[in-house]
Structure 1
Amino acid sequence: MDNPQPPVPQPQAGQTDAKTIAILVWIGTIFLGFIPSLIVFLLKKDDEFLLDHTREALNWSITVLVGWFASMILTFILIGLLGYLVLIVSNLVFCLMGAIKASNNQTFRAPVCLRLIK
C-alpha cells in the first residue's frame, strides 16, 4: 500500500518574496561582491529572515575582500596564486550553499567568515 504524503505547506506571499530576494542576494554575491547584500541590507530591515541572510552575505563578502587583498600581497612571494584559487572556489561554494539554505527557509552561516556586521 502507498503511504499518502502529507501536503507540503505553501509559504505565504511575503515569505516567498523574502526567500526569492535572499536567493538573489547570495547569487548576486558571486558576481557583484558586497553590492547586492549591502543594498538589500540597507533597504529591507523589516524582514528578519531576509536581514539574517543579507547580513551573512555581507559578512562573507567582506571576508572575501580581505582575502583578495591578502592574496594580492602574497602574490609577490608566489603563495597568493593559491589563495586566489581557494577564494574563488570557496566563494562559489559558500554562496551556492547560502542560496540553497535560503530556498529551504533555513539560516546559513559560512564556516570561515569575519562577523563584522551583527
Structure 2
Amino acid sequence: MSENPQQPQQPQQPGPQPEQAPAYGSPQPGQTPYQDQPSQPYPGQPHPGQPQQGPVYGSAYGPGQYQPQPLNPSDERMWSVFAQIGPILLSFIAPLVIWLVLKDRSRFVDQEAKESLNFQITLVIVHIAAAIITTVTFGIGAIVYLVFVAAVVFMILAAVENGKGAPYRYPVNIRFIK
C-alpha cells in the first residue's frame, strides 16, 4: 500500500502459496473422505494400544481412586454448626446437602448432619400433623405451632454444642437415617 492516497494502488500479484498441512482428520491427497483409515489419536495423546507414559492428571490418587481428604477439626465444627442452624432458613435441604457432600470426609459432620436431618424430617411430620389439627379444630389447635419455637431453641443449642466440638442429641427425634 502506498501512503499517498492520490496514487492508484497496484494490485498484488498472486505468488506461490506456501504448502499447508492438511487439517487433522482430513483425507490425504488422492483419498476420499471417510475411507477406512487406521484411527489416529488426538494430538498429544498416545496411540491406542500403547502404554500411557507420564503422570495421570485429574486425580491425586490415580485413575478411578478417589480418596476424600479428611476435614480439620475447625472445619468439622463449622460444617456441623451450619447443619444445625441452616434449617432455620432452608428447612431440611441444608443438613441434607451437608451430609451428602461431607459424610465421607468427617465422621463428626456425618453424625451431626444426620441428626439435624432426622430432626428436620421429624419437624416436617409435626408440621403436617399441626396443620391437620388446626384445620379440624377450626384454628383452636394452632397452639400446637408453639412446638416450633422449642424446635428453634433446640437447633440453637445443637449449634452451640457443635461449635464446641461436642455432639448433640435432640430430645425428641425420630431417627429415619441411621
Q: TM-score, normalised by structure 1?
A: 0.84
Mapped to 2, the partners of 1:62 and 1:93 lie a distance apart of 17
C-alpha distance in structure 2 between counterparts of 1:45 and 1:85, whole Å: 33
In structure 2, the residue matched to 1:71 is 130
> How many pairs does the alignment contain?
105
Please identify the structure whose Cα radius of gyration is greater: 2
Amino acid at match of 1:108: Y
Output the amino acid matched with 1:100: V
Deviation of the 1:82 alpha carbon: 1.0
Q: Which residue is equivalent to 1:108? A: 168
The higher-RCO structure (CA 8 Å, 6+ apart) is: 1
CA positional deviation for 1:79: 4.5
Identify, as 1 or 2, the structure richer in helix. Answer: 1
2:150 is matched with 90
Identity of aligned residues (%): 33
Q: TM-score, normalised by structure 2?
A: 0.56
What is the CA RMSD across the aligned residues, in angstroms? 1.2
Secondary structure of the 2:86 match is helix
Take 1:102 and 1:37, find their aligned partners in 2: how far apart are those partners?
14
**Matched residue, 1:81:** 142
2:76 pairs with 18, 35, 43, which one?
A: 18
Q: Which runs of structure 1 show a deviation greater than 6 angstroms over 4 or more consecutive aligned residues?
A: none
Unmatched 5+ residue regions in structure 1? 1-12
Q: Measure, in 2, the Cα distance between the counterparts of 1:79 and 1:60.
A: 26
Does 2:94 correspond to 1:36? yes
Residue 73 of structure 2 aligns with an amino acid whose one-letter code is Q
How far apart in 2 are the matches of 1:62 and 1:80?
Answer: 21
Q: Does 1:117 align with 2:177?
A: yes
CA distance in 2, matches of 1:103, 1:82: 32
